[in-house]
Amino acid sequence: MKKVLSVGLLLLLAGGLLFAGGKAEPEKEELTFAYMSGILDPFMQMIEKGAQAKCDELGVKLMTAEYPKKWGAEIQVPILEAMTARGGFDFLLVVPTAQTALIAPLKKIHDKGIPMITCDTYLGDGDYSKPSEYSFPLAYIGSDNEQGGYEVGKKLCEMIGKQGKVYLNTTNPDVSSVAGRKAGFERALKEYPNVTLVGFDYNLDNQETAQKQTAAVLQAHPDLKGVFGTNLFSAQGAYRAVVAAGLTGAVKVASWDAGMDQIQALERGEIDFTLAQKPYEIGYLAVEWGYKYLTEGVEVPKVIRPGFFIITKENLNTPEAQASIYKVD
Ligand code: T6T
């Protein structure tokens, strides 16, 4: 905080001096935000879009790090380190790809004087309000994944007539977003004693793996009634496996995220519903709060949840559903 205020003071003084000289205009604060995504996908691109919109409004710069082609600390950390070595940014928006493996690399950046907000995922248990080795980010801005997973679970159980076998396909362990979705889904299932979770797989955020894993489960359980793919790649793999097995309609597909591929599958009836997050708002809010912190020293709320919207074939044409689709150019 002290550092932020003193940087602010220096900038003000510099501006004042220039102005006092009588020749130049008062210098505007030249702030730069950096964005480090989790993986190349439309969700992460929408965060950038929202962040860029707010940066444009505020007249600050956005520097976007290379998008990792695969999910994981081993790919994300070197990109982060290279960007930090180059420097030139005042604030970091970051999607940590692991709850534990990203603590030390991000702490190093924080200790260099770069404040940050974690977007979409958090470090540790996400409680940045109590002192801990991972409580240095100013805030977590992202979905209430547990609540979303719970709502998806309930909807899927109702859709299959409150009985039968279901399967969950997810990405990686130690990732707060998908872990929350799984936990919420499992909590919902507890309310349906006649629904059984036959198991779950980690696809490491790879669509082809998700498809193969789902295909194997469909073979092992020909009476399977429902599948939940916990993110874009999981859901895209899961629905393709159901289609390839000729089970469209017989096996209900619950999906998460709202990329164009998923929306088209929903229109074709290959996905039964999908939970759209609000990535644009995540990016927008992260810049808004980061800017207020840097320029006014305001305290940022530790958790900000922009919400989500469940899209079905029935509500697809409503303005709210249309606004929830991840539209990247
Ligand atoms: O579901 C999003 C994001 O919330 C999650 O943390 C990782 O996967 C996505 O980026 C979709 O691919």
In the structure encoding, which two tokens stand for residue 41, read together?
């996908």
Per-residue pLDDT tens over the stretch 34-43: 999 999 999 9
Angle at 159 between CA 269 and CA 162, to 5 degrees: 155
| Mutational test site, ligand 1, from 37, 45, 102, 120, max ligand atoms within 8 Å of CB | 120
Angle at 243 between CA 237 and CA 245, to 5 degrees: 105
Cα 187 from Cα 181, distance rounded (Å):
10
Mutate to test the pocket of ligand 1, among 37, 40, 43 (most ligand atoms within 8 A of CB): 43
Binned at pLDDT 50, 70 and 90, residue 29 comes out as low
Judged against a pLDDT cut of 50, whether residue 211 lies above it is answered with: yes
Phi and psi, residue 65, nearest 5°? -75, 155
Q: Is the pLDDT of residue 248 over 70?
A: yes
Residues in the chain: 329
Determine the average pLDDT of the residues in 255-261: 98
Please tell me the residue having the least CA distance from ligand 1 atom 8.
231
Tens of pLDDT, residues 108-164? 999 999 999 999 999 999 999 999 999 999 999 999 999 999 999 999 999 999 999
Average pLDDT, the chain: 93
Place of tokens 């609000």: 278
State the Cα–Cα distance between residues 60 and 256, nearest whole angstrom: 32
* Nearest CA owner, ligand 1 atom 6: 177
Q: How many CA atoms lie within 13 A of 140 on its CB side?
A: 22
Q: Can you give the C-alpha Rg of the chain in angstroms? A: 22
Burial group, residue 85, by CB count within 10 angstroms (0-12, 13-18, 19+): exposed
The label of the residue with tokens 């004042």 reads 16
Confidence of residue 9 (pLDDT cuts 50, 70, 90): very low
Pocket of ligand 1 (CB under 6 A): 38-39, 41, 43-44, 120-121, 177, 231-233, 256-257, 277
Ligand 1, from 140, 169, 177, 230: best to mutate by most atoms within 8 Å of Cβ?
A: 177
Name the residue with the closest Cα to ligand 1, atom 10: 43
Which of ligand 1's atoms lies nearest the C-alpha of 175?
6
Can you give the pLDDT at residue 186? Answer: 98
Phi, psi at residue 159, to the nearest 5°?
-65, -35
Question: Residue of the nearest CA to atom 5 in ligand 1?
Answer: 177
In the chain, what percentage of residues exceed pLDDT 70?
91
Nearest to 92 by CA among 72, 69, 119, 68: 119
Q: How far apart, in whole angstroms, are the C-alpha atoms of residue 68 and residue 77?
A: 10
State the Cα–Cα distance between residues 254 and 215, nearest whole angstrom.
16
Q: Which domains does the chain have, with CATH numbers?
A: 32-142+278-307 (3.40.50.2300), 145-276 (3.40.50.2300)
pLDDT band, residue 329 (cuts 50/70/90): confident
Residue 145 CA: nearest ligand 1 atom is: 4
**Average pLDDT of the segment spanning 187-211:** 98
Residue for token digits 């193969």? 212
Tell me, in angstroms, the distance from the centre of ligand 1 to residue 154's CA: 21
